Structure 1
Amino acid sequence: MWVRVLGSAAGGGFPQWNCACPSCSAARDGSRPCVPRLQSSIAVSADRRQWFLFNCSPDVRSQIESFQELHPVAGQGTQLQAVLLTDAELDHSLGLLLMREARGLEVHATESVHGTLTSGSGILRTLKQYCPVKWKPVIPGVETQLGPGLSYRAFNVPTSKSVRFEGTASYGRVVGYRVTDTSTDRSLVYLPGVQRLTPDILEEFQDCSALLIDGSFWRDDEMARLGLAGKTSRDMGHVPISGPGGSLEALSALGIRRKLYVHINNTNPILLEDSQERLQLDRHGMEVAVDGLELEI
């Protein structure tokens, strides 16, 4: 199984267009080592011919163009077979509208996410006016075939963050995916948004070969420290990396070969390669994903 990181930043990308925090400023003026990032998404394949997109960011066009194996082939069309959504947030779903030229689009989503995108934000409702959309219901806990050589099992990720759209059911509002190469039985866990690492969620990581996990914020009060917002990391549905109950504390001891942070907010100091926070991750065997990174699992 191959995994391509198409985007490793949280919503807004890095640097974010309206932000002058230390990290965004460094990205613009080159004063500290860091690289720009597009909004969070990965592509997965069992054969490097058929690819599956996990989340569809507003940067999807640039992400496809940046990866030759996603380019269309004469007489065959696109190499993308389907889109799988972890939630209905705009940074994970707005790119669907940019795929309106497709002859047809298969979207895997929970009933909660599908309901939001066909009523509240209307993204799928609008998209259907341009191309046929086939909804494949995602049922947490059920192993599902995903083309030749791959299967996935979604798992529910409880969240208490504010509901952005009306009519959104709580169960299945956010999910993670455990994707398995059926020929090797090796698995990837993709979890770009998680509020709390409960025992049930940690159980989903058992025996996986690679973990791509929410790295949105370093501190729970990161936004408040910078004077950018009053909400904490957990208020926004993301477990912070540091501090009691943070993801670093829970994950550094796990015997997973590759553990990478994705969905990194523009304010997070781990984006700065010379930061003390980045060095701390290095000491604990945690990696920071970058756009274009490929994993063979």
Structure 2
Amino acid sequence: MWVRVLGSAAGGGFPQWNCVCPSCRAVRTGSRPATARSQSSIAVSPDREAWYLLNASPDIQSQIESFEALHPDEGRVVRLKAVLLTDAELDHTLGLLLMREGRGLQIHGTESIQETLTSGTGVLRTLEAYCPVEWRQVIPGNEVPLGEHLTYRAFNVPTQKTMRFPGAEEYGRVIGYRITDSRTGKSLVYLPGVQELTDELMLELEGATGLLIDGTCWTDDEMPSLGLAAKTSRDMGHMPISGEHGSLQRLAPLPIEHKIYIHINNTNPILLEDSPEREALTRHGMKVAADGMELQI
């Protein structure tokens, strides 16, 4: 399968419009090597003809235009076949509204995600007023065909993040996907939001060829230490990379060919290519996603 990183930053992108943290200043001024990034989303394909989107960021229009394989052909045949959602966060779903001109949209998500998008944010209810929506219910643990040669299996990602829109089920509020190519048996795990890498979640990563995983913050107190917010990384539903209980310690030993951090917050120093934090990732066999990155799994 082919994988294209359409966007690699967390909500707000990089630089973030209202932020003057060291990383945002550096990318604006060019004072240190850093590359701007749009909000996270990837596309996967079994043949580079039919593509499946994982999350639809607010930057979806520019992301599609920057990738010729997603452009419609002369007969207006749309190559983007479906959208798979990992949660109902705005930075993962607002792009759905920008796709309302389509003749129809197939969306995969759990019952909890559907409830939040309908009764909470209203994204799904608004979208349905503009175009036909085919909602495919995702049940974690089930193997589901995804076009020709691809299947996916979703898995629940436990989180204690405060719900902005109470009412949806806790189970399935956040999920990850394992996408498998039936021709090779190789698989990609997409997990842009994880609060803790439990033993159960670590089992979901076993045998994967590629892993795109939550790299939101370097330290748990990153936002408070910069005076930008009171919430820690875990308060926001994201496991920090560094430290004794960070994700790097658990991921570095895994024999996965492609181990890549994605959904990177604008405050994270790994966005600075000359930072010691970036060097530490390289030393441990981890990569940092960038818009336009492509993988063949």
**Equivalent residue runs for 1:135-214 within 5 Å:** 135-214=135-214
Q: What is the CA–CA distance in structure 1 between the aligned matches of 2:231 and 2:24, rounded to whole Å?
A: 20
The secondary structure found in structure 1 opposite 2:27 is helix
* Partner Cα separation in structure 1 for residue 56 and residue 165 of structure 2: 18
Matched with 2:48 is 48
Q: In 1, Cα distance between the equivalents of 2:195 and 2:261?
A: 14
- 2:254 alignment partner in structure 1: 254
- 2:158 is paired with a residue whose SS is coil
Aligned residue for 1:22?
22
Cα distance in 2, alignment partners of residues 244 and 196 from structure 1: 13
* Structure 2 unaligned blocks of 5 or more: none
The alpha carbon displacement at 1:152 in A equals 0.2
SS for the counterpart of 2:172 is coil
1:76: Cα distance to partner?
Answer: 4.5
Structure 1 partner of 2:110: 110
Which residue does the alignment assign to 1:232? 232
State the one-letter code of the partner of 1:78: V
1:61-112 Cα deviation digits (max 9, x unpaired): 0000000000011224210000000000000000100001000000000000
Task: List, as ranges, runs of 4+ consecutive aligned residues in structure 1 with deviation greater than 3 Å.
Answer: none
Separation (CA, whole Å) in 2 of partners of 1:206 and 1:89: 27
Structure-2 separation of matches of 1:133 and 1:248: 39
> Identity percentage over the alignment?
67
Deviation at 1:245, TM superposition (A): 1.3
Letter of the structure 2 residue corresponding to residue 14 of structure 1: F
1:122-141 matched pairs, under 5 angstroms:
122-141=122-141
- Structure 2 letter corresponding to 1:152: Y
Output one character per residue of 1:33-85: Cα deviation in whole Å (capped at 9) or x when no partner.
00000000000000100000000000000000000000011224210000000
Question: Which deviations, in whole Å up to 9, do the C-alpha atoms of 1:171-207 show, x marking residues without a partner?
Answer: 0000000000011110000000000000010000001
Provide the C-alpha distance between the structure 2 equivalents of 1:193 and 1:28, rounded to a whole number of angstroms: 27
SS in 2 for 1:19: coil
User: One-letter code of the match for 1:61?
Assistant: Q
Task: Structure 1: state its 5+ residue gaps.
Answer: none
Residues 223-242 of structure 1 deviation map (CA, whole Å, 9 limit, x = unaligned): 01100111110111000000
Q: 1:222 — aligned with what?
A: 222
**Matched residues, number:** 297
- Looking at structure 2, the residues matched to 61 and 225 of structure 1 have their Cα atoms a distance apart, in angstroms, of 34
Report the TM-score, using the length of structure 1 for normalisation.
Answer: 0.99
- AA aligned opposite 1:148: E
